[in-house]
Amino acid sequence: MSHPRREFQKGSLTRENLDPSPFLQFGVWYDEAETAGVFEPHAVILATADARGRPSARVVLVRGWTGAGFEFFTNYESAKGKALDANPQAELLFYWMEMERQIRIQGTVERLTDEENRAYFEKRPRGSRLSAYASPQSAEVESREWLEEEVRRLETEHAGDEPRTPPPYWGGFRVMPDTFEFWQGRESRLHDRFQYRMNGDDGWDIVRLGP
């Protein structure tokens, strides 16, 4: 949902105004980002490392979050899909420049179920569903024209029907956090940083970090 942009009044971040749950705190900041008119606040930098430890980062769109974690969708045979299968750990970085805020989320990763994948796939626009079939994500392709021809072929193949089942190589991942960090920009680089660390009692310890 889009919101009219309003002037955001930057403030401080204190231990007292943090929710004990990092998921609820994320929800508060996300709602404020939407209200402030941040462009695509669900866009996030996803950082992974492959089996050799080689890091990689790219922007993905988070399509949902619950107390279990943060979900995004991709081609499982893409570079990020292969990296996450080999080394199922990731970091998410939300950066809302207009508000001088960022949120870092670290955790382990799991694939979503076939039922979850299908439920989301059915909500996608028809063109996006066809593209999921047409694009061998991260693999070398001969030209833009080849991609467009693949989409036209699929349009013809599926004329009069709707592809509702995702390809077997397409689906979602869930990042299950064990660490959150909330960062609020302040003057003179004396920023406010608070980290939530999962403890052994199914709760969260909260500590302030130096900027």
> pLDDT tens digits for 95-125?
999 999 999 999 999 999 999 999 988 888 7
Summary mean pLDDT of the chain? 88
Per-residue pLDDT of 1-11, as tens digits, reads 444 444 445 67
pLDDT at 191 over 80: yes
Mean per-residue pLDDT for 123-134?
77
Residue 9 confidence (pLDDT): 53
> In this prediction, what percent of the chain has a pLDDT beyond 90?
65
pLDDT at 64 over 60: yes
Residue 187 confidence (pLDDT): 84
CA distance 66 to 71: 9
Where residue 131 falls among pLDDT bands split at 50, 70, 90?
Answer: confident
Residue 125 confidence (pLDDT): 79
Residue 55 confidence (pLDDT): 96
Mean per-residue pLDDT for 22-37?
96
Residue 156 confidence (pLDDT): 76
Q: Which residues are catalytic?
A: 189
Buried-exposed string 18-40: b where 16+ CB fall within 10 A, e elsewhere: beeebbebbeebbeebeebebee
Question: Helix axis angle, 144-157 relative to 126-134, nearest 10°?
Answer: 120
pLDDT at 178 over 90: yes
Mean per-residue pLDDT for 164-169?
82
In terms of Cα–Cα distance, which of 112, 115, 106 is closest to 177?
106
Residue 2 confidence (pLDDT): 46
Q: What are the CA-CA distances from residue 26 to residues 65, 68, 75 (Å)?
A: 10, 13, 27
Mean per-residue pLDDT for 18-35?
96
When mean pLDDT is compared across 83-97, 118-132, 184-198, the lowest value belongs to 118-132
